[in-house]
Structure 1
Amino acid sequence: MTLLTALYVPGNRPDRFGKAVGAGADMVILDLEDSVPRADKTSARAAVVRWLESRHPTDRDPVFQIRINPGDAADLEAVADLPPTVELRLPKATQPDDMDAIRGRAVTALLENALGVENAFAIARHPAVTRVALGESDLASELGSDSDAVLDFARLRLVFAARAAGIEAPMMSVYPRIQDAEGLLRDTVHGLTLGMVGRTAVHPTQLAIIREAHRPSTDELSWAESVQIAMATDGVRTLPDGSMVDPAMIGRAEQILVRHRAIPPEDS
């Protein structure tokens, strides 16, 4: 399933859980890690589990993820009885073995250091892993650089690893400058050109901008639909403008159409 937006909400703020769902993100990430002070870890864990257990699922629910603390057995024990549809987000994954303790639950592996990026394909192939993502702030801190070249290298490594492993393209990391709407739009479009799809957010106001960045242009949509029609019609291998069409184009055309369908109708 292609997701375009994900929204983090601190696990020690249960008053925001319902608001996060109402914001309309495709995924809501209930965080037990970085956004929760050490003193609040136990109460946050209990609040997240209690809230998820008390909900009545609907067909409009987002995907729910819990970002656990790496190596925390108490977190894994606490979420063990939640519905299997609740996914886990595992920070600081560096090797496939990091996922072995997780059973019967989809995992997004967060790669936040050089070793994790180097092992991206092996991690992406782990049976529990359905998505991979970068933790760009931690990675930049370890490498001593947040230059475009450094981050783009890591982003591309994840794109290739995910596709080679047969899982969804990675979503982009959080854009931390909440007030910089133009920067968020520009950076998200750039990520799309690298093969990434979707983005996580830390504030609801970022969601509409992320969706807008993924909206195909009229020309892109027209081209994708023309390719699809041409490839489905026996003997027809040209577009209305006379350009040739071959099977290699269908993948790009399908990705454009997937993005178009993933944008809610009310945003169209």
Structure 2
Amino acid sequence: MARRPDSGGTAVALTWLYAPGDRPEVVRKALEAGADAVIVDLEDAVAPDRREYARAATAELLAGPPAPDGAGVPVHVRVHGEADVRALAGLPGLAGIRLPKITHAASVHHVAALAPGVPLYPLLESALAIEHAYSIAGAHPEVRGIALGEADLRADLGVRDDTGLDWSRGRVVVAARAAGLDPPAMSVFPDVRDLAGLSASCAHGRGLGLLGRAAIHPRQLPVIERAFRPTPREVEAAREVVEAARSEEGALALPDGRFVDAAVVATARRTLALAHRDD
């Protein structure tokens, strides 16, 4: 599997807001909520007898021309099956497809053939998927990111609390990096009222190498944004590294005696990109 070029940290999304595909009015509100991207859900959020309507409503939404100069909010769709992929592939408003319950790279290749040129985001939701994380991450050039589906994974593994998923989270962070992808975003935090708990959970995930988070309610967006934005101290340290790298090649020494290499410089550039992504 060929390693993709590193993205360099530009245009990294921090917030992904889910909206049920069978409620177009909620989708419209989601597009105005301030998220970096909206995920229209045709899977868990839609009852079986509403899926055809949800697919048709989503196709209508995506059939219109994209906003000029990329000004609109990117719309991704979490599909339920092949019928959704066939109905939505090629629509001008489709920015990406979220693939639930992926366990093997072959499934990614199948969807890529049905939707050529569409960015794909496999969701790993079982022990088998975690074991195949790297092969899924590197399965196809259109794979732009991977993430966990933590509710199903928690049930599959039988873990009782949030920290029981830490090994799996670390596994997908390593797999994404090895495949040249951006760091995975965190899965949703289900209690929309517990903003303190959300903040603490985001801080924990950030420490594991995750970047950004999916949300199920607009009130969660500012909390996620704050949690993953670099602190002033981190920005200053990153700026120092980047400035030093402009004048030297290879390993270099900072004024305080620390030595840094190319990987540290790349991380510093990502930090500055995140700090100034709205500039």
Q: Is 2:109 the partner of 1:100?
A: yes
Provide the residue aligned with 1:135 in structure 2: 149
Segment drifting more, 160-169 vs 84-93: 84-93
> Secondary structure in 1 aligned to 2:145?
strand
Provide the residue aligned with 2:89 in structure 1: 80
Aligned partner of 1:168 among 165, 168, 182: 182
Give the drift of 1:84: 7.7
Aligned partner of 2:265 among 235, 250, 259: 250
RMSD over aligned Cα atoms: 1.8
> Secondary structure in 2 aligned to 1:100?
helix
> Secondary structure in 2 aligned to 1:86?
strand
Distance 1:68 1:85, change over 3 A: closer
Paired residues for 1:62-211 under 5 Å? 62-69=73-80, 72-83=81-92, 85-102=94-111, 103=113, 104=116, 105-127=118-140, 128-211=142-225
Provide the residue aligned with 2:21 in structure 1: 11
Tell me, in whole angstroms, the C-alpha distance in 2 between the residues paired with 1:250 and 1:32. Answer: 40
Distance 1:243 1:219, change over 3 A: farther
Contact 1:224 1:253 in 2 (8 A): yes
Structure 1: runs of 5+ lacking an equivalent? none
Contact 2:63 2:93 in 1 (8 A): no
- Listed one character per residue, the Cα deviations across residues 61-120 of structure 1 (whole Å, up to 9, x for unaligned) are 122111001xx2321221123128531101000000111222311110000000001100
Contact 2:98 2:123 in 1 (8 A): yes
> Secondary structure in 2 aligned to 1:254?
helix
Tell me, in whole angstroms, the C-alpha distance in 2 between the residues paired with 1:234 and 1:80. Answer: 47
Tell me, in whole angstroms, the C-alpha distance in 2 between the residues paired with 1:160 and 1:205. Answer: 30
Tell me, in whole angstroms, the C-alpha distance in 1 between the residues paired with 2:248 and 2:41. Answer: 51
Give the drift of 1:237: 4.5
Provide the residue aligned with 1:232 in structure 2: 246
Aligned partner of 2:35 among 25, 28, 42: 25
Provide the residue aligned with 2:232 in structure 1: 218
Give the drift of 1:5: 0.5
> Secondary structure in 1 aligned to 2:75?
strand
Give the drift of 1:191: 1.0
> Secondary structure in 1 aligned to 2:187?
coil
> Secondary structure in 2 aligned to 1:29?
strand
Matched residue type, 2:82: A
Give the drift of 1:238: 4.4
Provide the residue aligned with 2:274 in structure 1: 259
Tell me, in whole angstroms, the C-alpha distance in 1 between the residues paired with 2:74 and 2:159. Answer: 33
Q: Which has the higher contact order (CA 8 A, sep 6+)?
A: 2
Tell me, in whole angstroms, the C-alpha distance in 2 between the residues paired with 1:244 and 1:205. Answer: 41
Contact 2:66 2:72 in 1 (8 A): no
Tell me, in whole angstroms, the C-alpha distance in 2 between the residues paired with 1:81 and 1:162. Answer: 26
Q: TM-score, normalised by structure 1?
A: 0.91
Tell me, in whole angstroms, the C-alpha distance in 1 between the residues paired with 2:89 and 2:258. Answer: 53
- Listed one character per residue, the Cα deviations across residues 170-229 of structure 1 (whole Å, up to 9, x for unaligned) are 000000010111111111121111111110000011111101001212211111101111
> Secondary structure in 1 aligned to 2:159?
coil
Task: Give the count of matched residue pairs.
Answer: 261
Segment drifting more, 170-179 vs 247-256: 247-256
Q: TM-score, normalised by structure 2?
A: 0.88
